[in-house]
Amino acid sequence: MAESLPQTYDDLPDKRRYWPAAPNSADEGLGMLRLLTPEVVANAARTQIQTGERVCLNWDLEKLNPPGFGRKPFAHQVKWVNEGHAFDDEYHFNPQQSSQWDGLRHHNAPAPTPEDPERRVFYGGTTSTEILDPSSARIGIAHWAKKGIAGRGVLIDYASYIQRTKGITVNALTRHTVSLDDVLTIAKECNITFQPGDILFLRVGLPTTWDNMSDEEKVEYSQQQTPQHAGLEQSERVVRFLWDQHFAAVAGDAVSFEVYPPVEKEWDLHHFLLAGWGVPIGEMFDLEGLKEIGTEYILPWFIWATEAASAQTLITQTARGEYALRALG
């Protein structure tokens, strides 16, 4: 049975926070992934899988190298585990430099009180003290790991649309803003009717942008104090749209899903989605394969599945083991 949510954004008692589950509970840890019930997943599989084509959505671990925000680059070593007989891999990487899910522990939001006007909390009211406590599993990704993430993915291929209609090639490492009007136009062109529990995917073309950059340009990007990223606009209209559709998660091939730095800080989507409503944000997925096997410009529907690492204190979930099965639109 699907969860009964406030129907519209206006029905939310607190627009910035929807925390219905008990603190420290499994339901709290799932956030909006609670919407991926067996019935929702079974219906997606039954109605969407048509051709059985499979596409990997993982971007290479070493692609965004060097990464921005002062993050350490991917490092890989091959070592003998038994000299002359077997090799092992050893690697260091920050999940935020490749395909990954922002977990509910990743981003907090302002929650001021008269006593503490600078107060900030994570989803459910979780504090940084709880997250730094190695014995605390509150809102950790281990809650996702028990069943993984599977459901109906809906692709908004903005990069193809804006190239086709306006001749614009998106530079995904600028503040190119994807408007809600364009998202809705693409959805209408594709005859998309959003359903509760859908996983929204937005393609702006980061892999193409990165592959076309010189080594010098990549280093320059990594050294920027405030990197710029293309993505969805921040506005009250967008926030209303995201709530009213009851998405289980959102994702894209951009570094930050939303335009960064925020154009409208009041409507910072990470604040609403992660800390406010418990909606996971997927970033830097490689959506080029979906584009290639899609219809003329847009592949509207597909089945999405991913595994999640089982470690109770993880902040970010590396996107490994993700795939999409093509559905005919």
pLDDT tens digits, one per residue of 208-230: 999 999 999 999 998 898 999 99
Torsional sign, CA 57, 58, 59, 60: negative
Percent of the chain's residues with pLDDT above 70 = 88
Where are the domains positioned within the chain? 17-326
Q: What is the 3-state secondary structure (H, E, C) of 117-178?
A: CCCEECHHHCCHHHHHCCCCCCCCCHHHHCCCEEEEEEEEEHHHHHHHHHCCCCCCCCCCEE
Write the pLDDT tens digit of every residue in 11-40. Answer: 999 999 999 999 999 999 999 999 999 999
Element (H, E) at 3: none
> What pLDDT, on a 0 to 100 scale, did the predictor assign at position 298?
35
Q: Report the distance separating Cα 271 and Cα 122, nearest Å.
A: 9
Tokens in use for 71?
């993050």
Computed over its alpha carbons, how large is the radius of gyration of the chain?
20
Confidence of residue 235 (pLDDT cuts 50, 70, 90): very high
Q: Tell me the average pLDDT of the chain.
A: 87
User: pLDDT > 90: what percent of the chain?
Assistant: 63
- Pairwise CA distance, residues 10 & 174, whole Å: 33
Which range among 68-82, 95-109, 200-214 shows the weakest confidence by mean pLDDT?
Answer: 68-82
Give the pLDDT confidence score for residue 312 in this predicted structure: 57
pLDDT for residue 302: 52
Which class is 17-326 in CATH?
A: alpha beta
Q: Average pLDDT, stretch 58-66? A: 82
Question: Tell me: the pLDDT tens digits for 292-315?
Answer: 765 433 344 455 555 555 455 555
CB atoms within 10 A of CB 267: 17
Name, of 151-155, 297-301, 322-326, the range with top average pLDDT: 151-155
Helices (H), the chain: 26-30, 38-48, 128-132, 142-145, 158-166, 180-189, 206-211, 215-223, 236-244, 269-270, 288-293
How does pLDDT run across 245-260, given as a tens digit for each residue? 999 999 999 999 999 9
CA–CA dist 8, 236 (Å, integer) = 13
- DSSP structure class, residue 15: T
φ/ψ of 325, rounded to 5, equals: -105, 130
Cβ burial, residue 104 (10 Å; 0-12/13-18/19+): buried
Average pLDDT estimate for 320-328: 52
pLDDT at position 73 is 81
